[in-house]
Amino acid sequence: MIKIAKATVLNLHINGEYREVLVKPSDTLLYTLRNLLGLTGAKPGCENGDCGACTVLIDNRPIKSCLILTVETIGKRILTIEGLKDVPIQKSFVENWGFQCGYCTSGFLMVCHSLAQIHPNANDHTIEEWLQSNLCRCTGYEEIENAIKSILTGTVRT
Amino acid sequence: MIPFNFEYYKPKTIEEAVDLFNSLKSAGKKPVYYGGGTEIISMARVHNVHMDAVIDIKGIPECNVHEVKDGELIIGSGVTLTEIAELNFFPLLSLTIKRIADHTVQGKITLGGNLMGPIIYKEASLPLMASNSKVIIAGRNGKRKVLVRDIYDKEKGLNPCEMIVQIVVEDKFLNLPYAHVKRTKNEKIDYPLITIVGLKDEKKISFAFSGICEYPFRSPKMEDVLNNNSISVNKRIKKAITNIPGKILNDLNGSSEYRKFMLHTMLKEALLDFQEVE
Amino acid sequence: MSQIGVDTLRKEAWDKVTGAAKYNSDRLESNMLNARILTSPYAHALIKSIDTSKALKSDGVLAVITGDYLPVLTGSIIEDRPPIARDKVRYFGEPVAMVVAHSEQEVMKATKLIEVDYEPLPVVNSINQSISSQAPLIHENIGKYFCPDTTVQPRAGSNLLDHVRIRKGDMDRGWNESDIIIDLKTFLPQSDHLAMETRNAVAEILPDGRVVISTSSQAPFAVKEEISKIFGIAEGDIIVNVPYVGGAFGGKATVDLEFLAYIASRAVGGRKVRIANSREEDISSSPSKVGTESTVKMGATNEGIIKALEATYFVDCGAYAGTGPRMAKAIASDCTGPYNIENVHCDSYSVYTNHSYVTSYRGFGHVAFTFAMERAMDKLANSLNMDPLDIRMKNAISEGDTLATQAKITLSNTGDLKACILKLKESINWEEGNRIVEPNGMIRAKGIGCFWKTSNSPINAASGVAITLNSDGSINLNFGATEIGPGMKTTIAQILAEKMKMDIDNIHVFMEVDTQLSPKHWKTVASMTTFMVGNAVIKAAEDLMEQLKSLAAIVLACTPEELDVKGQRVYLKDDPDRGIQFKKLVQGYEYPGGSAIWGPIIGRGTYIMKHLVPLDLKTGKGKTGVSWTLGAQGVEIEYDPIRYTYRLLKAATAIDVGKVINPKTARGLIMGGMSMGLGLGTREEFIYSDNGMLENTSLRTYKLIHFGENPEYIVDFIETPQIDGPFGARGLAEYGILAIPGALANAISLAVGMDFDKLPISPELIWKTKTGGKYDSL
């Protein structure tokens, strides 16, 4: 049985590295990433699971990091936006104007990246299902749709 | 950020979990069983729940079972909604849970959490109630099995020390003709204004509802009326609506009158799905 | 290659797709203390007592602050708002106390331990209640407040903050010439900006008294100026820094949390304190969008020519003035919409209620009158049995007409509305009809609307640009507009690159704004950044080139007039091969044999609004902006007459922007605006309970449009240059929102066959309107 009764040093697997960090059982992953590890790419937009700006990947699946305790990630692989290195969706967001203020972008990118890995041939319905987990206030979503579709079909639209 | 501290336990066996719950309780602490934790975390942030310890049941093998075996579908309480939808043993259940919260959050919510959490809609219970499914509950005196619809019953439901281990669905229900209709106030990602599921065996259609009253329910009376082919569909529906077994919700999502109207159109659609309407 | 009309990638694009972009909310330092507010659960109540003793004893707490500490009143128009309530609370969500503690967890815990004893007061829960003669007074001292805006006139003994009058032409004549008169009442609720980054600020007071504030603001210079004024600190001792801002939409133009951060830091000896709104606080405690009610009466001839407009607007400013009265003024001054109306009588009242207080919101009040006018236009067309598009064409504003404020219309200061309408006609396939019953029983309906808007800025709104250079001849560009999302840092660089005839990659933009380093820009609001900073950067480029040519003339032994600049090189016009590269000039020129002249070259440029005139208090005569960008919009829906639901199919805009600098950026801004407009039309509203409590304070209950719920967007640009705009460009960033709610309501009204004059239009509202709201009537 795992028992963590108070602040404890955990060795978490983040972006391909092991990172030691002092974690309280009540700390959310979002808090640990931002406040203790300086990984501020995941954003707090609501801390209620509604906006998706804090989305990261846990074992390649999107998770809202405000709705998971850091202690739940022991033994799992965490990937944040800082760990995405030149994957197609980043370029596609840049070239399709997939953001304005950029605050929701990390979350959208993580969902899109996971979708592209798991369902490289996702249809419109699946794209919609996955991307409805996130909110963007600046764009009309069309740009984001173009960005994800251009990498799923393998061609970057001009 | 959760504004208070608590202890975290992740037991490996049911016995460990139950014993732990009881010993924490006797030590004057407030423990909670913890599945996906989405409701617990978001409510704790705004001081709407408080606990001294969480017992994460996701490390218990029985709670992670997800298989069809010996004529039964068994789903552990720690299985996530996404896993259920992806394996898709029970299409009506998959369809229903794919409309709970959003896709990302479905990867965190567990079946047990949706059934037992504080949020009133508990839509995952609807296909389970319609299929007369059972819940395996573990407590101090070992395990017991009750109907899903009884877990919300004061007498038959869970006592505070008990946890849900598994859901058991008889496989004859898995591929019956079904209907699922969900309406929200305005958009896809939202709590239900109303959700209906229907499951049809040779004899009749079973219905379960969420969003009408403060709890999800099945109503024998409403089912009898809705299955009464001797009267017109419209009359059946009207009569069913007069037999709603509790106070109809009247809130920001919709007035109770609107819910009645919406229920009417939804039942019509559901019956149409079963080709009960010419 | 020209840099204008080109889809230049955003300068900050790679920062934003890698997590490298730092927002103010990302400034998390281990030496920071955390502050948090306790908010009022009542909309209107006396504060009988506040017991802070338990909170003070809680772990990690350094201070618990109430309104009695540093009691000041704030407000850019009327100084009526204490940063922390004193004696009474006036809205649900108002700060009543603030805790400073070491950690976020400690501060959250301690805030809960503060005990406040309230005595509830009768609540003013609507505009009607506010103006009733029996209304409880929300501000007992309403007549005595200091008003930094000298044109507002709060009425003592009432809840009325201001009354703006427009009196143009001769109303009697207007009514006499009218064959038909239509009227309507509209209601638009308060709602939230919902920028994804909640407001947050950090303040520190250094040992020598300098105040350093970093904040998620659209108005860093206003933060500096207002903190200076309110707390009596020399402006030079205040440094305000703004990194990337996670959306704003007007909501971050008011000084709000910066006051609290400063007060919190003062209370703990100047230590660095961070305060960040939770989403719930951002919605309920910080300022929101105005609510408005209107009565509009319009007269026209049988040919559809509008002869008279009489309109009354009430602006629900909530508990404090905020920016409300200025929006009420904007509503009055542009109230005709882009239509030529000779006789106009408009009253625009700002009132207090016990609702959330307000600040600017995308469109600055223009959505309110545009909604009323566009509903009125459709009613007029309907009554006259005319095509809604034709009636708008007939009344379209054009050169030689005048505004309600009697200011002159020119083609340059507005654009070509008729061209926009014709473009829209084509893009939404108006010819096929505007109400089509599909074979499956669904009804496809189209609604349209026209819009315009101006800046409504202060008379002296100004911008500056500073340019320095690097030894390699590349340029550093620095100006005071914050990058809140619209990409203006790139747009301004494009203008500079065009002017300098150089590669934009060699222009390095200072992405932050620091009031100590950056030239002042009034505020990043009013869609004015490209126009104002664009004009300033053109002057800066000219200044820079003049200096470069003067120095190069010495080196090349000619006069500056004989030189030109291109590709980071100064060369002889008559012999382009002969020239000198920037890199040899920009830090001073060194002769081959020794000695050097000149020194680092610094370019500067400025712009200030010209010829603005405040409105006359009796007639509203004046001039509120330099231009009125205009256009036409349409919304197509599919209505389900059985379920009373509808789907958004298309939203279209045709807008005359003068000149498109960056097409993809411009298109994105217009689409984003349309999306917000559809939000207002379909779902966004503050829902107040009977006792004035805001009931939807989270994203679980305050809904935004999600991916996939958006319609297909169509954006067309018309380019009629604004003569005094940078390369002819007019403002555009807010505009996508303006006529969308009206066009949507027109489409729904047409589809359903009932009038929808209030927003948002939910399926339940349609059902109630159509059936009377009783299930039994089915």
Residue C448 has pLDDT above 60, yes or no: yes
C476 and C594 within one domain: yes
Instruction: Tell me which residue of C319, C263, C322, C273 sits closest to C97, measured CA to CA.
Output: C263
What integer pLDDT is reported at residue C535 of this predicted model?
98
pLDDT band (50, 70, 90) for residue C438: very high
Q: What CA–CA distance (Å, rounded) separates C759 from C753?
A: 17
The DSSP-derived string for C596-632 is EES----EEEEEE--S-BPPPTTT--SB--S--EEEE
Q: What CA–CA distance (Å, rounded) separates B169 from B150?
A: 15
Q: Is the distance from CB of C395 to CB of C700 less than 8 angstroms?
A: no
Q: What is the CATH number of the domain that holds C30?
A: 3.90.1170.50
Residue C129 lies in a domain: no
- B199-254 residue pLDDT tens: 999 889 999 999 999 999 999 999 999 999 999 999 999 999 999 999 999 999 99
Q: Which residues of C touch A132 (CB under 8 A)?
A: 706-708
Q: What CA–CA distance (Å, rounded) separates C61 from C112?
A: 12
C583 and C443 within one domain: no
Say how many domains are in chain C: 3
CA angle B103, C20, A68 (to 5 degrees): 35
How does DSSP classify residue A32?
I
Residue C134 lies in a domain: no
**Does B47 contact C at CB distance below 8 Å?**
yes
C603 and C623 within one domain: no
> What is the percent of chain C where pLDDT is above 70?
100
Residue C776 has pLDDT above 80, yes or no: no
- C143-167 residue pLDDT tens: 999 999 999 999 999 999 999 999 9
- Let me know if domain B61-173 sits in CATH 3.40.50.720: no
β-partners of residue C88 are C46
> Where are chain B's structural domains?
7-59, 61-173, 178-273
Domain carrying residue C652:
291-457+614-776
Residue C518 lies in a domain: yes
Q: Which residue in B has a C-alpha nearest to residue A24's C-alpha?
A: B5
Residue C181 lies in a domain: no
Residue A156 has pLDDT above 70, yes or no: no
C554 and C596 within one domain: yes
Q: Is the distance from CB of C189 to CB of C694 less than 8 angstroms?
A: no
**Domains of chain A in sequence order:** 8-82 (3.10.20.30), 88-152 (1.10.150.120)
Pairing of β C569-572 and β C596-597: unpaired
Q: Tokens 């309403």 appear where?
A: C142
Instruction: Give the Cβ contact number of residue C575 at 10 Å.
Output: 11
- Let me know if domain B178-273 sits in CATH 3.30.390.50: yes
Residue C152 lies in a domain: no
* Cβ within 8 Å, pair A143-C668: yes
What integer pLDDT is reported at residue B273 of this predicted model?
86
Helix (H, G, I), strand (E, B) or coil at C561: helix
Residue C744 lies in a domain: yes
C445 and C533 within one domain: no
Q: Is the distance from CB of B49 to CB of B26 less than 8 angstroms?
A: no
Residue C189 lies in a domain: no
Q: Mean pLDDT over all residues of chain B?
A: 96
**Does A125 contact B at CB distance below 8 Å?**
no
C628 and C734 within one domain: yes
What integer pLDDT is reported at residue A154 of this predicted model?
53
Residue C777 has pLDDT above 50, yes or no: no
Q: Is the distance from CB of C496 to CB of C425 less than 8 angstroms?
A: no
ipTM over the 0.90 cut-off: yes
- Interacting residues of C462 by C-beta distance below 8 A, sequence separation 6+: C520, C521, C522, C532, C606, C607, C608, C609
Instruction: Tell me which residue of B187, A144, B102 sits closest to C705, measured CA to CA.
Output: B187
What integer pLDDT is reported at residue B276 of this predicted model?
59
Q: Could you tell me the two tokens for C158?
A: 């009432």
Residue C778 has pLDDT above 50, yes or no: no
- Let me know if domain B7-59 sits in CATH 3.30.43.10: yes
Instruction: Tell me which residue of C350, C349, C294 sits closest to C320, measured CA to CA.
Output: C350
Q: What is the CATH number of the domain that holds C573?
A: 3.30.365.10
- C239-286 residue pLDDT tens: 999 999 999 999 999 999 999 999 999 999 999 999 999 999 999 999
C636 and C590 within one domain: no
> What is the percent of chain C where pLDDT is above 90?
99
Q: Which residues of B touch A6 (CB under 8 A)?
A: 5, 7
> What is the pLDDT averaged over residues B90-117?
97
C564 and C473 within one domain: yes
* Cβ within 8 Å, pair C108-B3: yes
Burial of C595 (0-12, 13-18, 19+ CB in 10 A): exposed
The DSSP-derived string for C232-253 is T--GGGEEEEE-B-S--TTTTS
Which 96-125 residues of chain B touch chain A by CB within 8 A? 98, 101-105, 107-108
* Cβ within 8 Å, pair B187-C708: no
- Point out the domain boundary residue: C608, C628, C652: C608
Q: Which residues of C touch B43 (CB under 8 A)?
A: none
Residue C639 CA neighbour count, 13 Å, CB half: 29
- C324-358 residue pLDDT tens: 999 999 999 999 999 999 999 999 999 999 999 99
pTM score over 0.80 = yes
C752 and C633 within one domain: yes
- A92-109 residue pLDDT tens: 999 999 999 999 999 999
Q: What CA–CA distance (Å, rounded) separates B82 from B105?
A: 9
Q: What CA–CA distance (Å, rounded) separates C120 from C123?
A: 8
pLDDT band (50, 70, 90) for residue C633: very high
> What is the pLDDT averaged over residues C100-122?
98
- Point out the domain boundary residue: C608, C636, C662: C608
Q: Is the distance from CB of C729 to CB of C665 less than 8 angstroms?
A: no
Residue C151 lies in a domain: no
C492 and C598 within one domain: yes
Q: What CA–CA distance (Å, rounded) separates A7 from A26?
A: 9
Other chains touching C, judged by 3 or more CB pairs under 8 Å: A, B
C406 and C388 within one domain: yes
Q: What CA–CA distance (Å, rounded) separates C446 from B271?
A: 33
C305 and C236 within one domain: no
